[in-house]
Structure 1
Amino acid sequence: MNLVCVTNNIVCSTYKVNGYCGILSGDGDRTSKTHLFGHRSNIDKSGVNMLNNEPFTHQNDLSILDSLVQLSFHIQTILGRIGADHDLSIIQIRLLGILRDREPSMLQLAQYLGLDKSSITGLVDRAERRGLVERTISPGDRRGFNVSVTADGRQLIHVVGAEIERQVLDVVEVLSETDRSQFATLATKILGATLHPK
């Protein structure tokens, strides 16, 4: 699992959803920047403490809980900004990420994304109207459908995926190669236990 995927999947584990690393796995469309315990975050997306307008430089003061939550918010901001540039919600980015290398059934998609039947149907309908995905009758169940990405959808995956990779890697630019490797190892261990419990 590469560092971009690991960093992004922290978002999924923080929000307790079943994540899948496609382009990236984010959460739903309406994530607010609210502190885990119900208080508005004091740190804006530029890294400035909004209470006293001082740069946020004391990263070591954050607990591991707040560190994970703040990092997840930052990744959400990146995903939301890139998605907005391409008229995609974060959940649509996740959909395309899943379809990049597989053709799941509608049920499998719903399970990957943690959505109910009506929500996944609406999500696929919207993507299909844009010409990004298509449904075909499932060879294993004539009553069901598989979903695959179209040529236009694959091109969009390429463009959006490259932008996400660049911006997420910029986030960890402050880390040394050793730190990055250690971070990826620890995060993979956490995600393995969270997403695939025994």
Structure 2
Amino acid sequence: MQEMTEDELLVDALGETAFRTMGALTGIAADAGVSLTQLRVLAILRDRRLRIGDLADHLGLERSTMTGLVARASAKGLLAREPNAEDARAVDVVITVAGLEVARSLEAAMRDALLPLTTRLPVDDRHALRDLLERMLR
């Protein structure tokens, strides 16, 4: 069998990390009764309000898909629509108090599920990993 190149090893490690992360996040979302995309929306809206179109762009979704997702989360009391202060025709999506509670609970569950993946690394390596991931995603 042929030995893997450094690039192949990197892609393999990224893939395995993604699969483990997505598996954990999917389970956490399901336990909370939300979809994985709704989990992402709650995390995004914890500290800001966005127009539906901007939120859709941020997530790489069609506006119609985002509208349906917001409607389902609103029916659960997690999100609300409010008029945009700068444009009377626009609507912002905001997190509700109940949504913020769910978001905080999900954040804690994510920490509990994902931090054990890094505990074998020395603190300096964890800092370096975070820095590298942030730089990679910018």
Please give the TM-score of this superposition, normalised by the length of structure 2. 0.90
Deviations 1:131-175 (A, max 9, x none): 111001112221110011111111111111111012111111111
Instruction: Verify: 1:65 aligned to 2:8, yes or no.
Output: no
The residue correspondences of 1:34-183 to structure 2 (distance < 5 A) are 63-183=9-129
Offset of residue 88 of structure 1: 1.2
Count residues in correspondence. Answer: 132
**Higher helix fraction (1 or 2):** 2
Deviations 1:63-105 (A, max 9, x none): 0011001100100001011111111111010000111000111
Cα RMSD after superposing both structures: 1.4
1:183 partner letter: L
CA distance in 1, matches of 2:133, 2:49: 28
> Whose relative contact order is higher, 1 or 2, with alpha carbons under 8 Å and at least 6 apart?
1
Please give the TM-score of this superposition, normalised by the length of structure 1. 0.64
1:149 partner letter: I
CA distance in 2, matches of 1:188, 1:158: 22
Runs of 5+ unmatched residues, structure 2: 1-5
